[in-house]
């Protein structure tokens, strides 16, 4: 009897062990909650660089700039989420609150601005730039040309009539503090160009007149620290795509890397002349101060710290400044490295054919990104047939077509420079395969923004021309180099002609036909989601985090 009890006991113990093990296994694989899935779309990245290269004055300057950046954050919140405190106080779940702070509000920037906080409705397209009860007719009948300014708010007076309020008046209290901090930083700056820029930019914040400070920013070349600040991007205004939002970046320049890219800056005129269109579409000449520079980002605030993070940008956005002196193509090295390691490479390992995976390289990713920014500066700003600027002619289709142009010209420029022998130590196949892998990284943002729609157009244009094939069994993609090059040249020409002609109908037709996600691609994107590959990154930033040990 005792022997039987021992056997039963052993069997029961084994069962318990197996059951506990299974429970642990199930616990480890338990499905994520909705908010956990949303949080997993971001990988945390510390913004850091080697601060030992800074001198005493520069180290003293950094806390001043960080303080100014915090105030810029507050201005951005005021522009985009007017009920910030009310909504924040209503959130009980710490994970929801964390995601709320990632998005600077209760709307998911990686998912078409869908609300994720209970009780919060659809985001008003006009953010906090316009009265939410304003009708299109009322705006059109509002007889004040300042309503179109990038630096005015539209408000109601005591009688309920529309009025305009300049940014420098609406946000005066905080802007005065920011300007004071920038003037303090200017006093610490030893580089004459940076000193001049900070003073002019501080004054610009108080007047909404940015031209002089933009010119000064382009003229400075030797500064190690940079502080880009102001109302710059207009993408938060989804009503009229006019009003700009506040943002800032604190950067530390990689001077050696930047010097190595000087040769490309000198070739910008040549690249403009080589665009694959008739001469009449490429008469505009880049300004003589145009350059390419490389930085590590150590702080982002406002719009630049929301949703998908920038790995590069071309500034100033003012077309008049670009025509007069050119533009600067800024490459954010530490952000680029983080996105390659945490996002692009894992995507490639899942979707790129095994025999082409060796061509997915960080160097090619950097080059493709760099020439995307070159693409944004070159090309066509004004139509060739009297329709005015490309922006005005293409209206609501302008941003999508502009993104298409930047994307496709990046591959065109890389190809052209490789054929000229200017891309040292490069294999052009690396750039093509990495370009394709980056399409998958980009299309994951869907069509919730202009970049997303442009990605879809590029993807399906390539597909229709046989630039890539998909193996149905493995679900992996292979690049056909020759067909991809042919597709690139054809799409570049088509986009540039649409812009030069100001052909709104052709632009809309391209967007309507290709600017959406089809089922096969959607299934591949689900595979990436299932593997929990993040869509983007979120910054861990601050003075303490900035120093790389």
User: Which of the pair, 98 or 285, is modelled with greater confidence?
Assistant: 98
Token pair for residue 544? 């303490």
Given this model, what pLDDT does residue 19 score? 43
Lowest mean pLDDT among 13-17, 82-86, 342-346: 13-17
Residues 143, 146: Cα–Cα separation, whole Å: 9
3-state DSSP helix/strand/coil % of the chain, to nearest 5: 55, 15, 30
With contact defined as beta carbons under 8 Å apart, do 377 and 286 qualify?
A: yes
Dihedral sign (CA 500, 503, 504, 509): negative
**Per-chain mean pLDDT for the chain:** 90
Q: Cα separations (Å) of 95 from 29, 32, 125, 392?
A: 19, 12, 26, 42
Q: How confident is the model at residue 5 (pLDDT cuts 50, 70, 90)?
A: very low
Residue 2 pLDDT > 50: no
Coil, helix or strand for 119?
coil
Lowest mean pLDDT among 59-73, 253-267, 324-338, 439-453: 439-453
Which distant-in-sequence residues (6+ apart) come within 8 Å of 502 by Cβ?
383, 385, 387, 388, 390, 392, 393, 394
Residue 384 pLDDT > 60: yes
Main-chain dihedrals φ then ψ at residue 328, nearest 5 degrees? -110, 130
Residue 223 pLDDT > 50: yes
Q: Could you tell me how far CA 5 lies from the centroid of its own chain?
A: 68
Token pair for residue 326? 């050119």
Residue 431 pLDDT > 60: yes
Percentage with pLDDT > 70 across the chain: 93
Coil, helix or strand for 135?
coil
Residues 342, 348: Cα–Cα separation, whole Å: 11
Q: How confident is the model at residue 379 (pLDDT cuts 50, 70, 90)?
A: confident
Q: What is the mean pLDDT of residues 418-440?
A: 89
With contact defined as beta carbons under 8 Å apart, do 85 and 191 qualify?
A: no
Distant-in-sequence contacts of 211-219, Cβ < 8 A, 24+ apart? 211/318, 211/320, 211/321, 214/316, 214/318, 214/321, 215/321, 215/324, 215/325, 217/315, 217/316, 217/328, 218/287, 218/289, 218/316, 218/321, 218/325, 218/326, 218/327, 218/328, 219/193, 219/289, 219/325
Residue 30 pLDDT > 80: no
Q: Which of 512, 479, 470 has the alpha carbon at shortest distance from 411?
A: 479
Q: What is the mean pLDDT of residues 342-360?
A: 97
Residues 174, 171: Cα–Cα separation, whole Å: 6
Q: Token pair 């196949």 is at which residue? A: 429
Q: What is the mean pLDDT of residues 515-542?
A: 91
Residue 9 pLDDT > 60: no
Three-state SS sequence of 27-82:
HHCCCCCHHHHHHCCEEEEECCECHHHCCHHHHHHHHHHHHHHHHHHHHHHHHHCC
Q: Which range, 97-111, 258-272, 284-298, is most confident? A: 97-111
Three-state SS sequence of 232-252:
CCCCCCCCCCCCCCEEEEEEE
State the DSSP string of 499-513.
HHHT-HHHHHHHHHH
Max CA separation in the chain (angstroms): 103
Q: How confident is the model at residue 302 (pLDDT cuts 50, 70, 90)?
A: very high
Given this model, what pLDDT does residue 448 score? 62
| Count of beta carbons in the 10 Å neighbourhood of residue 387 | 16
Residues 368, 237: Cα–Cα separation, whole Å: 29
Q: How confident is the model at residue 315 (pLDDT cuts 50, 70, 90)?
A: very high
Given this model, what pLDDT does residue 263 score? 85
Q: What is the mean pLDDT of residues 249-266?
A: 90
Q: What is the mean pLDDT of residues 109-121?
A: 92
CA atoms within 13 A on the CB side of 544: 1
Residues 62, 121: Cα–Cα separation, whole Å: 39
Token pair for residue 125? 């397209």
Residues 302, 29: Cα–Cα separation, whole Å: 36
Residue 288 pLDDT > 80: no
Residue 531: enclosing H or E segment and its boundaries? none
Given this model, what pLDDT does residue 29 score? 52
Given this model, what pLDDT does residue 104 score? 97
Given this model, what pLDDT does residue 266 score? 84
Q: What is the mean pLDDT of residues 331-338?
A: 96
Given this model, what pLDDT does residue 518 score? 86
Residue 270 pLDDT > 80: yes
Residue 278 pLDDT > 60: yes
Q: What is the mean pLDDT of residues 58-76?
A: 98
Given this model, what pLDDT does residue 374 score? 82
Q: How confident is the model at residue 549 (pLDDT cuts 50, 70, 90)?
A: low
Q: Could you tell me how far CA 398 lies from the centroid of its own chain?
A: 17
Interval 505-525: pLDDT, tens: 999 999 999 988 888 888 998
Lowest mean pLDDT among 176-180, 264-268, 309-313, 477-481: 264-268
With contact defined as beta carbons under 8 Å apart, do 378 and 271 qualify?
A: yes
Instruction: Spell out where 283-430 has E strands.
Output: 291-302, 312-315, 328-332
Q: How confident is the model at residue 76 (pLDDT cuts 50, 70, 90)?
A: very high
Q: How confident is the model at residue 432 (pLDDT cuts 50, 70, 90)?
A: very high
Residues 383, 394: Cα–Cα separation, whole Å: 10
Q: What is the mean pLDDT of residues 274-290?
A: 87
Residue 469 pLDDT > 60: yes
- Angle, helix 450-464 to helix 398-419, in steps of 10 degrees: 50
Rg (CA), the chain: 26
Q: Which range, 166-180, 231-245, 250-264, 276-290, is most confident? A: 166-180
Alpha-helix runs per DSSP H in 383-427: 390-394, 398-419
Q: Cα separations (Å) of 160 from 78, 133, 156?
A: 21, 11, 5
Residues 422, 374: Cα–Cα separation, whole Å: 15
Query: Whole-prediction pTM value?
Result: 0.86
Given this model, what pLDDT does residue 7 score? 37
* 315, β-bridge pairs: 328
Token pair for residue 85? 């405190």
Token pair for residue 350? 């899942």
Given this model, what pLDDT does residue 226 score? 98
């Amino acid at each position: 009897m005792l022997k039987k009890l021992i056997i039963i006991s052993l069997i029961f113990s084994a069962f318990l062990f197996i059951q506990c093990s299974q429970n642990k296994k199930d616990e480890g694989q338990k499905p994520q909650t909705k908010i956990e899935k949303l949080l997993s779309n971001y990988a945390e990245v510390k913004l850091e660089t080697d601060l030992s290269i800074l001198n005493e004055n520069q180290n003293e300057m950094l806390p001043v700039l960080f303080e100014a950046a915090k105030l810029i954050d507050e201005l951005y919140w005021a522009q985009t989420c007017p009920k910030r405190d009310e909504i924040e106080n209503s959130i009980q779940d710490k994970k929801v609150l964390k995601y709320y702070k990632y998005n600077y509000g209760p709307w998911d920037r990686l998912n078409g601005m869908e609300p994720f906080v209970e009780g919060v409705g659809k985001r008003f397209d006009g953010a906090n730039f316009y009265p939410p009860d304003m009708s299109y007719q009322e705006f059109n009948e509002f007889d004040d040309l300042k309503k179109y300014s990038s630096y005015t708010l539209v408000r109601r007076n005591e009688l309920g009539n529309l009025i305009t309020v300049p940014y420098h008046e609406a946000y005066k209290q905080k802007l005065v503090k920011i300007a004071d901090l920038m003037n303090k930083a200017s006093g610490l700056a030893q580089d004459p160009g940076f000193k001049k820029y900070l003073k002019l930019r501080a004054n610009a914040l108080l007047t909404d007149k940015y031209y002089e400070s933009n010119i000064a920013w382009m003229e400075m070349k030797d500064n190690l620290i940079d502080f880009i600040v102001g109302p710059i991007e207009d993408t938060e205004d989804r009503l009229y795509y006019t009003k700009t939002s506040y943002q800032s970046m604190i950067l530390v320049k990689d001077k050696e890397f930047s010097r190595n890219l000087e040769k490309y800056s000198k070739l910008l005129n040549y690249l403009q002349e080589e665009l694959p269109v008739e001469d009449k579409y490429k008469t505009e000449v880049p300004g003589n101060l145009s350059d390419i520079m490389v930085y590590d980002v150590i702080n982002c605030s406002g719009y630049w710290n929301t949703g998908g993070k920038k790995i590069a940008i071309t500034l100033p956005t003012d077309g008049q400044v670009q025509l007069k002196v050119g533009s600067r193509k800024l490459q954010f090295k530490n952000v680029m490295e983080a996105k390659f390691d945490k996002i692009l490479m894992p995507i490639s390992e899942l979707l790129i054919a095994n025999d082409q995976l060796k061509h997915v390289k960080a160097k090619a990713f950097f080059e493709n990104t760099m020439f995307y920014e070159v693409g944004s500066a070159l090309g066509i700003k004004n139509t060739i047939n009297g329709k005015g600027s490309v922006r005005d002619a293409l209206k609501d289709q302008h941003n999508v077509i502009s993104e298409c142009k930047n994307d496709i010209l990046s591959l065109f420029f890389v190809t052209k420079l490789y054929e000229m022998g200017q891309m040292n130590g490069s294999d052009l196949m690396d750039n093509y395969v990495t370009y394709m892998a980056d399409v998958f990284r980009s299309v994951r943002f869907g069509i919730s923004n202009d970049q997303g729609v442009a990605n879809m157009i590029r993807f399906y244009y390539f597909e229709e021309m046989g630039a890539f094939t998909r193996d149905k069994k493995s679900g992996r993609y292979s690049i056909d180099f020759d067909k991809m090059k042919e597709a690139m040249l054809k799409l570049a020409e088509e986009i540039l002609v649409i812009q030069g002609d100001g052909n709104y109908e052709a632009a809309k037709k391209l967007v309507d036909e290709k600017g959406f996600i089809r089922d096969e691609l959607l299934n591949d994107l689900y595979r990436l989601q299932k593997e929990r590959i993040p869509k983007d990154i979120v910054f861990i930033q601050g003075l303490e985090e900035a120093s790389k040990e």
